[in-house]
Structure formats: structure tokens, C-alpha cells
Amino acid sequence: MTRFEEEANCKSCSSSDVTVFHRLSNVPVNSCLLFADRSQAESYPRGEIVLGFCRKCGFISNLCFNSALARYTEGYEEQQSFSPRFNQFARELATGLIERHNLRDKTVVEIGCGKGDFLLLLSELGRNRGVGIDPTYVPGRNDGSASDKVTFIRDFYSERYAQHTGDMICCRHTLEHISDTAAFVQTVRRGIGDKTNTLVFFELPDVERVLHECAFWDIYYEHCSYFSLGSLARLFRACGFEVTDLAKAYDGQYLLIEAKPAKGAVSTPLHNEEPVEELSRAVDEFRTRYDQVVKQWRKQVQSIREAGQRGVIWGSSSKCVAFLKTIGISDEIEYIVDINPHRQGKYLPGSGKLIVAPSFLREYRPDAVIAMNPIYLDEIRSELTSLGLQPELTAV
């Protein structure tokens, strides 16, 4: 047992009733930093994942996470908006928020805005003003009709930016990167102060799906915090928010929470919040099935090579890095395909695999393609057809 485990208290509720259920060593400490040099990618620093489950609130975290190793700097490439399917989801999400909350001619603050896609979309569709805060923002990447209405700050969100509240605070796929979750949400709450009409919207991955599907490719170093609907709602209430809506989206992959500063006593749980006992059973299910699922995928990938065939993985994001690391892929897969042009020609941390454009496959002609997310199967199949290819296409 490491010192981190011995001293572990839940970062969402402060309970000491935390049980370790999963370990993984020698893991690349970043999945979205890409490299022009293969050897540099292969030698990128490694860390430990030790997942602990809080039996009081249901929060799951990496007890050995070291924030000093997590780099969000130039070269960090997480943008998903090159996918038509993802863009459709983002537009529907933005439109729904605008319609339900009359977000027109308002000020929106996005914490962890990435390259600014969603904030610009909210500003464009609702004629809103915006402030985006993210250390990996790239100036000029996403200029559009609303660019003059949005200000970007290339930094981590902290108390120094608490004055930026506006009418809505948006935070998408950022909380899972924060180890001290309660401190972070409390910072947001303090910044809002007595502006009790401020809408707070967070989006992040759903750990229930990861546990039930034994989706080991969705466990990686940057994601140090894992939530379910119940554990997420319990955190927000403990930090002084009234939870007004909870939902799952994107084929059940994402959690969506809407909240407002509580004026008094916090509200009772919503109908779709699972109890901690239910999440505990899912943790036990994951622990029981993990080795078998990893073995099955290792065997499937190895069978491609053994059959004298060529295989590629489609999708070079964090899922891919985790998948390659966990099943121990070496020469069985040579190339990783990605539609994001900012990723192409770069090497993945850890495995050092080269990322190529879909057009590369016209000459390479793979026999098998493994998609890292089933939600993109239709657009991947369409792209392969346009290239004159009909490989066996599967998804994790």
C-alpha cells in the first residue's frame, strides 16, 4: 500500500471509507499530448492508477494521482469537433440549453473551454457574450461569426477568475481532470456569491457505463475523478447547489447536470440518482470481469496479426492510449487513424504509434479496423466506403 492510499480520504465528501478496487502501473501520464518524435513519445513519463471507491458518496478517484505530472500545455490536442456526429450532439445540446433557460443576449463563462468550440456555438446561436478559460486554448483556431463576442483566457480556472460568473457557468469534460473535486466546485460556488439565478451546467463521463461495460479503455491517468449521476449530485449539493436536472447523453456516455446556487436547505435527491449500494455492485462487477475482458481484446487483436492481416485503430484519443497500454499492443497494430488534422503525423505517448489520416488507408488497405467509440461507426463506415475499402469494422 502506497502513502497515497494510506492517507486517502474522499475528495468529494471527506470520508475515510475508501476501498481500492483497481490498479494499473506504468501508465502514460498524458494521453492528449502528441509528439513529432517517436522516441520522445515512447519515453514519456509514466504513473500509477489506483482506483478507490468511496462507500459513503460513491465517488471514484485515482488515489495515486499526481497533479504535477499532468501537463496541459502547447501540443495538447483534445478537440472533437471534426466529427459530424459530435457536432450534431454539441449543437443539439447548445440549442436545448438556450431554449430551456432563455440564454439569449446573456453572458456565458466556460471553465475548461478547450479550443472554444462550444462557447462560440452558444454565443452564435443565442447572440450571447462569452468568457472561456483554458490553458490549452489556441488563438485563431476557431474564428467564427461570434468571435468578437468571446474573450479567452489561457490559464487554469482558480479564485483569481471568480469574478467571471455571468448568467451561466459551463464546464464540460473538465471535472474528471480535477483531483480535489469538492474544492473546485466550492470555488465555483464562492465566485457566484449571491447571484442565485446563475445557471451552472457540467458535462462529464459516466462511470456507471465504464463499470458495467468493463470499459478499461476509459480509465487513464488524466481522468483522476469518476462520477455517476448520484455521486455527482451529492457533490453539488454538499457544495451549496440545488440540483435542478440530471441526465445521461451521447448514448449514455456522458452525464449532464444543471444546478443553481441553493438559497436554503438543499433539495431531496432526484429520481434517477442511483444509491451508493447500486454503484458498489457495479464496482464489484468490474473487478470480477476485468481480467477476462482484457484477455478477450488482447486475443482478438493478436488474431489479426496471426492471420497475416493488417489492422488499424480508428481514434487516437485517450481511449486509444489506454487500450494500447492495457492490452500490451506491440507490432500487432502499426497505425492509428484520426480525422483531426492536428493529430495526424504525430506519435502517441507511451506506444509511440503513428497517427495517420483516413486517406492513408487507401494504399495501406487494412483488413480490420477497430473503432475506439461505437457512436462513430456510421461515419467511419462511410469514410471507408468513400476510400473504396470494406475491412471488418468493429468497436470496443
Q: How far is CA 47 from the centre of its chain?
A: 19
Q: How many domains does the chain have?
A: 3
Quick one: 94 and 52 in the same domain?
A: no
What pLDDT is attached to residue 378? 97
Q: CA 99 to CA 94: how far, in whole Å?
A: 9
Tell me the pairing of strands 107-111 and 129-133: parallel
Question: Is residue 293 assigned to a domain?
Answer: no
Quick one: 257 and 330 in the same domain?
A: no
Quick one: 49 and 98 in the same domain?
A: no
Q: What percent of the chain has pLDDT over 90?
A: 86
Last residue of a domain, one of 38, 65, 92: 65
Question: In a structure prediction context, what are the per-residue pLDDT tens digits for the chain, which is 396 residues long?
Answer: 565 565 689 999 999 999 999 999 999 999 999 999 999 999 999 999 999 999 999 999 999 999 888 888 777 889 998 999 999 999 999 999 999 999 999 999 999 999 999 999 999 999 999 999 999 999 888 777 778 899 999 999 999 998 888 899 999 999 999 999 999 999 999 999 989 899 999 999 999 999 999 999 999 999 999 999 999 999 999 999 999 999 999 999 999 999 999 987 666 889 999 999 999 999 999 999 999 999 999 999 999 999 999 999 999 999 999 999 999 988 899 999 999 999 999 999 999 999 999 999 999 999 999 999 999 999 999 999 999 999 999 999
In the chain the first and final C-alpha atoms are separated, in Å, by 32
User: Cell 473538465 sits at which residue?
Assistant: 174
Task: Give the number of other Cβ atoms within 10 Å of residue 93's Cβ.
Answer: 20
What pLDDT is attached to residue 2? 60
**Helices (H), ranges, 107-201:** 117-126, 181-192
Q: CA 163 to CA 143: how far, in whole Å?
A: 25
Quick one: 211 and 150 in the same domain?
A: yes
Quick one: 264 and 331 in the same domain?
A: no
Decide: pTM greater than 0.85. Answer: yes
Quick one: 114 and 32 in the same domain?
A: no
Q: Which domain holds residue 321?
A: 307-395
Q: How many helices (H) and strands (E) does the chain have?
A: 11, 16
Question: Is residue 128 assigned to a domain?
Answer: yes
Quick one: 52 and 91 in the same domain?
A: no
User: Cell 471568480 sits at which residue?
Assistant: 162
For 127-161, the pLDDT digits (tens) are 999 999 999 999 888 777 778 899 999 999 999 99
The residue type found at 317 is S
Kind and range of the H or E run holding 22: strand 18-28
For 91-115, the pLDDT digits (tens) are 999 999 999 999 999 999 999 999 9
**Nearest 5°: phi and psi at 213?**
-90, -5
Question: Is residue 59 assigned to a domain?
Answer: yes
Cell matching residue 187? 470555488
Quick one: 207 and 343 in the same domain?
A: no
Q: How far is CA 226 from the centre of its chain?
A: 10
Quick one: 270 and 322 in the same domain?
A: no
Q: CA 260 to CA 255: how far, in whole Å?
A: 17
| Closest alpha carbon to 318 in 77, 112, 137 | 77
Quick one: 196 and 315 in the same domain?
A: no
Quick one: 58 and 90 in the same domain?
A: no
Tell me the pairing of strands 168-172 and 199-205: parallel
Coil, helix or strand for 394? Answer: strand
Quick one: 248 and 321 in the same domain?
A: no
* Domain harbouring 320, CATH code: 3.40.50.720
Question: Is residue 386 assigned to a domain?
Answer: yes
